[in-house]
């Protein structure tokens, strides 16, 4: 499979030769982001294989209401030889439902590169010799705008034709043929450049082509554009795109197609580009400094790449009020989720020293609290927030205390974050939505019913709950104890007249919950912990039935600093996971010996959701596992070395299949079509925030000598 070349620490660049042996480059994806929720996404050769692939997916109400505007371009280069003959080369291949064969690449593409832009280099074999053409896609930082730039030699008779293919639809939807027709209005020349305004319903796209001499109004329909990945997922897999005409450039050295949902045009991109690169360089510098500038070049390079990847998930909301910064859970389809944000925040924003933005995120969620709960997610379509989670609020406390530890800003923590953290504790003690309440008998958190999915193992489809974990779940109660203890520690450190009383109350609850935890969850399968205990009504009493499924959720009882296990018990958890769940790509979600185990994530959505937490590997869990490993061995040199090696193997997956990013999930078993190391096939969201964040955070942790708090 094509792989990326090594990169410099300061400015990571992936360079891929799509002609190299291995799996077809059409299976390799890339993503660019614009910092306000919009993005561009596609495959290395340019073949659209998802409904989400496009050159500009605009966030109409940042960071949501995402709209596929400029789906693609059909770009051709025409070279005229001295005798007047014309040779034509198409740069972008497509899959059509009516075609007998599907292109796996572009025959003239010799190099693909990605950093904060995507760049394609083509070599066109003309009768007069090979001609090199470069195409670069760049998104405006902080704007729903893109520029597609072509660089061509000036010693050849070349014409470039660029035909925009326009969707103007919700990025989840497909054009079915019932939508209003695309309308085009030719614009007067802007600085001598032809342009066109395209509209459908209340959506519009502004296109200007610098370097082109003319725009030809020549509507054409591209019918039956087929999306290979959608077909594999059992979804509708094709649609029709409209092209209003084409831009034509004769003899131009540089041609730029500028697309935007506003009318600002090209604008001053250099300043925004430089600011973005300074921001990413600052993140890389902070990460390398935090890791004590490791001597190992491979470690430095992967840390730099992970730091740069982390920037893709940080976005700004519309408006100028406090609380602008948010974290997107993954590309292409996730928006800002509470659970994902709180898990990813330490790696994305604290490890990279973006402390002010971290505070902005935490203050936003604190302000959105309802009955002590933070939102599970903000709505994808700018509707009301959703609150159906038990763990997001506990991860919120973890993130708030981690922010305090990183900044030592006791004043803002005490004023803005501590009250919200204490409201979580009060709500859980007194009871809140979804039957979330602390059991007065053992001090443990119980939540949900057979109809709810409140933990991160939340797959449900067609009324079927694939991983019912209502009752008392192991990670929820490890988080509960960790929240109580860490918040107690923070309150004592800040001080104040009533601090001892509040802290003593938290300690009392933590002691009772710790005793309850040890009674409920120890003596699990393979020397680890029980995953969940579920209530069963017996006459007037409740019996708690333990699940003997061996799952990875126990890892947090061993990885969190204020968790309820001693070092020996942490080693028991690490051993159980190592024996049954550990893979190079992350942790399986169920032991292979379980009857419900699914080795592969494949088929229609029902089958995929069934496998989602019943075997499917989650890369983000490798971070907590490696932290648990190090804690179980007092951060010995041996344990830190193993943690580094395992995380570096996972980070190698950034070379492929999602160039410069880490995917959401992977198959539980290896296949011949796995990654270049022969491990597991990655799937799900091609770019996932917590996969990057936890790999980055714990890889930095593994480079330090002292154990953290």
Q: What does the angle CA 154 – CA 160 – CA 163 come to, to the nearest 5 degrees?
A: 160
Question: What three-state secondary structure class fits 83?
Answer: coil
Q: Can you state the angle between helices 297-310 and 269-290, rounded to 10 degrees?
A: 130
Structure letter (DSSP) for residue 701: H
Exposure string (b/e) for 401-433, b if CB count within 10 Å is 16 or more?
A: bbbbbbbeeeeebbebbbebbbbbbebbbeebb
Closest C-alpha among 387, 395, 394, 378 to residue 336: 378
State the Cα–Cα distance between residues 641 and 627, nearest whole angstrom. Answer: 12
Cβ neighbours for 365, distance < 8 A, ≥ 6 positions apart? 338, 341, 342, 374, 375, 396, 420
Kindly write down the DSSP assignment for every residue of 246-269, as one continuous string. EEEEES-SEEEEEEESSS--S--H
Predicted pLDDT of residue 383: 75
CB atoms within 10 A of CB 196: 20
Q: Which residues contact 121 (CB under 8 A, 6 or more apart)?
A: 109, 110, 111, 112, 113, 132, 133, 134
181 burial via Cβ count (<10 Å: 0-12, 13-18, 19+): exposed
Name residue 256's beta-bridge partners: 149, 210
Angle at 132 between CA 126 and CA 136, to 5 degrees: 135
Q: What share of the chain is helix, strand, coil (3-state, %, to 5)?
A: 35, 30, 40
Mean of the pLDDT values across residues 578-589?
A: 98
**With left for phi above 0 and alpha for psi between -120 and 50, is residue 95 left, alpha or beta?**
beta
Instruction: State how far Cα 375 lies from the chain centre.
Output: 19
Token pair recorded at residue 285: 């510098």
Look-up: residue for tokens 């609290």? 369
Q: Give the pLDDT score at 705.
A: 72
Task: State how beta strands 129-139 and 203-210 pair.
Answer: unpaired
pLDDT in tens, 36-90: 999 999 999 999 999 999 999 999 999 999 999 999 999 999 999 888 889 999 9
3-state secondary structure 172-194: CCCCCCCCCCCEEEEEEEECCEE
Strand partners, 377: 337, 386
The pLDDT score that the predictor gives to residue 191 is 65
* Helix, strand, or coil (residue 40): strand
pLDDT band at 709 (very low <50, low <70, confident <90, very high): low
Q: What pairs with residue 709 in β-bridges?
A: none
Of 301, 409, 321, nearest to 367 (Cα)?
Answer: 321
Provide the b/e sequence for 657-684 (b: ≥16 CB within 10 Å): bbbbbbbbbbbbbbeeebbeeebbbbbb
State how far the Cα of 709 lies from the Cα of 2, in Å rounded to an integer: 42
Q: How far apart are CA 637 and CA 189, in angstroms?
A: 66
Residue bearing tokens 């009301």: 384
Q: What is the C-alpha to C-alpha distance for residues 234 and 523, in angstroms, rounded to an integer?
A: 41
Cα gap 208→248, rounded to integer Å: 12
Between 312 and 708, where is the model more confident? 312
Spatial CA neighbour of 675 closest among 654, 704, 648, 691: 654
Residue 378 φ/ψ, nearest 5 degrees: -85, 150
Mean pLDDT for 587-593 is: 98
H/E segment holding residue 400: helix 392-407
Question: Residue 691: pLDDT above 60?
Answer: yes
Alpha carbon distance 426, 432 (integer Å) = 9
Judge contact between 38 and 205, C-beta under 8 A: no
CA–CA dist 360, 496 (Å, integer): 25
Q: Are 399 and 365 in contact (CB under 8 A)?
A: no
Across the range 677-701, mean pLDDT stands at 92
- 327 forms beta bridges with 314
CB 526 within 8 A of CB 550: yes
Which residue has 């927030």 as its token pair?
Answer: 385
For residue 527, what is the DSSP state?
A: G
Residue 2 has pLDDT above 70, yes or no: no
Give residue 674's pLDDT band: very low, low, confident or very high (50, 70, 90).
Answer: very low
Spatial separation of the C-alpha atoms in residues 142 and 62, rounded to whole Å: 10
What are φ and ψ of residue 163, in 5° steps?
-105, 110
Please name each of the domains of the chain with its CATH number.
Answer: 14-267 (2.70.98), 317-435 (no CATH), 439-553 (no CATH)
Show the tokens assigned to 541.
Answer: 């009493």
Q: Is the pLDDT of residue 668 over 70?
A: yes
User: What's the pLDDT score for residue 672?
Assistant: 61
Residue 6 has a pLDDT of: 38
- Inter-residue contact 382 to 65 (CB < 8 Å): yes
Intra-chain end-to-end CA distance of the chain, in Å: 42
pLDDT tens readout for residues 643-659: 999 999 999 999 988 99
Which is more confident, 177 or 524? 524
What pLDDT score was predicted for residue 322?
Answer: 61
176 confidence band (pLDDT: 50, 70, 90): confident
Band (pLDDT 50/70/90 cuts) for residue 678 is low
- 129-139 sheet: strands from edge to edge: 14-16, 109-114, 118-126, 129-139, 145-151, 254-260, 203-210, 193-200, 183-190
The yes-or-no verdict on residue 598 having pLDDT over 90 is yes
Distance CA 273, CA 477 (A): 45
pLDDT score recorded for residue 5: 44
Q: With bands split at pLDDT 50, 70 and 90, how would you rate the model's confidence at 3? A: very low
pLDDT average, residue stretch 378-403: 91
Burial of residue 642 (number of CB atoms within 10 Å: 0-12, 13-18, 19+): middle
Task: Give the model's pLDDT for residue 321.
Answer: 59
Which band of pLDDT confidence, cut at 50, 70 and 90, is reported for residue 677? very low
Range 416-444 average pLDDT: 97
Predicted TM-score (pTM) of the model is 0.95
DSSP 119: E
Q: Are 521 and 529 in contact (CB under 8 A)?
A: yes
| Three-state secondary-structure class, residue 223 | strand
266 or 434: which leads in pLDDT: 434
Whether the predicted pLDDT of 268 surpasses 90 = no
Angle at the Cα of 190 from the Cα atoms of 185 and 193, rounded to 5 degrees: 90
Q: Give the Cα-Cα-Cα angle 67, 456, 416 (nearest 5 degrees).
A: 80
pLDDT tens-digit map of 540-574: 678 999 999 999 999 999 999 999 999 999 999 99
The residue assigned the tokens 């005409």 is: 245
Tell which residue, 46, 591, 691, has the closest CA to residue 334: 691
């Amino acid at each position: 499979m094509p792989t990326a070349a090594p990169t410099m620490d300061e400015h990571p660049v992936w360079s891929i030769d799509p002609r190299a042996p291995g799996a077809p480059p059409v299976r390799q994806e890339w993503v660019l982001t614009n910092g306000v929720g919009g993005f561009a996404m596609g495959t290395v050769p340019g073949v659209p294989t998802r409904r989400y692939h496009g050159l500009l997916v605009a966030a109409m109400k940042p960071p949501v209401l995402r709209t596929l505007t400029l789906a693609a371009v059909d770009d051709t280069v025409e070279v005229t030889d001295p005798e007047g003959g014309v040779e034509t080369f198409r740069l972008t291949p497509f899959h059509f439902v009516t075609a007998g064969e599907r292109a796996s690449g572009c025959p003239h593409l010799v190099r693909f590169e990605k950093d904060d832009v995507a760049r394609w280099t083509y070599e066109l074999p003309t009768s007069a010799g090979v001609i090199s053409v470069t195409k670069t896609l760049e998104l405006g930082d902080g704007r729903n705008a893109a520029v597609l730039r072509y660089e061509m030699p000036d010693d050849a008779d070349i014409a470039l034709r660029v035909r925009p293919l326009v969707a103007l639809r919700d990025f989840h939807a497909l054009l079915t043929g019932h939508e209003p027709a695309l309308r085009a209005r030719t614009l007067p020349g802007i600085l001598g450049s032809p342009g066109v305004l395209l509209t459908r319903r209340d959506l519009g796209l502004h296109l200007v082509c610098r370097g082109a001499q003319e725009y030809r109004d020549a509507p054409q329909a591209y019918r039956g554009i087929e999306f290979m990945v959608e077909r594999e997922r059992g979804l509708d897999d094709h649609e029709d795109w409209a092209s209003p005409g084409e831009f034509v450039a004769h003899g131009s050295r540089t041609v730029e197609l500028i697309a935007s949902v506003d009318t600002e045009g090209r604008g001053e991109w250099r300043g925004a580009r430089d600011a973005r690169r300074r921001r990413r360089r600052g993140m890389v510098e902070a990460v390398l400094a935090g890791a004590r500038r490791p001597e190992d070049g491979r470690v430095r390079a992967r840390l730099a790449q992970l730091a740069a990847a982390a920037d893709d998930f940080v976005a700004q909301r519309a408006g100028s009020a406090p609380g602008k910064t948010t974290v997107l859970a993954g590309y292409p389809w996730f928006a800002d989720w509470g659970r994902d944000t709180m898990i990813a925040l330490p790696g994305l924003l604290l490890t990279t020293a973006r402390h002010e933005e971290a505070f902005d995120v935490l203050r936003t969620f604190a302000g959105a609290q309802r009955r002590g709960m933070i939102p599970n997610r903000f709505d994808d379509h700018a509707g009301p927030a959703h609150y159906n989670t038990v763990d997001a609020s506990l991860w919120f406390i973890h993130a708030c205390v981690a922010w305090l530890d990183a900044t030592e800003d006791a004043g803002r923590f005490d004023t803005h974050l501590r009250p919200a953290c204490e409201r979580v504790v009060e709500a859980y003690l007194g009871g809140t939505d979804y039957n979330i309440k602390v059991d007065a008998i053992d001090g443990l958190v119980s939540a949900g019913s057979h109809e709810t999915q409140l933990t991160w193992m939340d797959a449900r489809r067609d009324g079927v709950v694939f991983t019912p974990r209502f009752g008392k779940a192991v990670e929820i109660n490890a988080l509960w104890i960790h929240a109580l203890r860490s918040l107690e520690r923070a309150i004592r450190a800040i001080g104040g007249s009533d601090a001892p009383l509040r802290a003593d109350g938290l300690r009392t609850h933590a002691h009772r919950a710790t005793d309850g935890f040890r009674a409920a969850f120890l003596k699990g399968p393979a020397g680890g912990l029980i995953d969940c205990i579920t209530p069963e009504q017996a006459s007037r009493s409740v019996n708690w039935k333990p699940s003997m499924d061996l799952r990875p959720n126990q890892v947090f009882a061993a990885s969190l600093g204020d968790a309820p296990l001693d070092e020996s018990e942490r080693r028991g958890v690490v051993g159980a996971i190592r024996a049954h769940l550990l893979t190079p790509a992350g942790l399986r979600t169920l032991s292979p010996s379980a009857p419900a185990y699914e080795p592969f994530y494949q088929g229609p959505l029902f089958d995929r959701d069934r496998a989602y937490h019943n075997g499917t590997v989650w890369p983000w869990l490798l971070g907590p596992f490696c932290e648990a490993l190090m804690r179980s061995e007092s951060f010995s040199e041996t344990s830190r070395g193993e943690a580094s090696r395992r995380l570096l193997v996972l980070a190698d997956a950034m070379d492929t299949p999602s160039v410069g990013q880490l995917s959401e999930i992977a198959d539980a078993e290896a296949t011949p079509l796995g990654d270049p190391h022969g491990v597991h096939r990655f799937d799900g969201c091609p770019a996932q925030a917590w996969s990057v964040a936890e790999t980055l955070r714990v890889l930095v942790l593994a480079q330090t000598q002292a154990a953290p708090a």
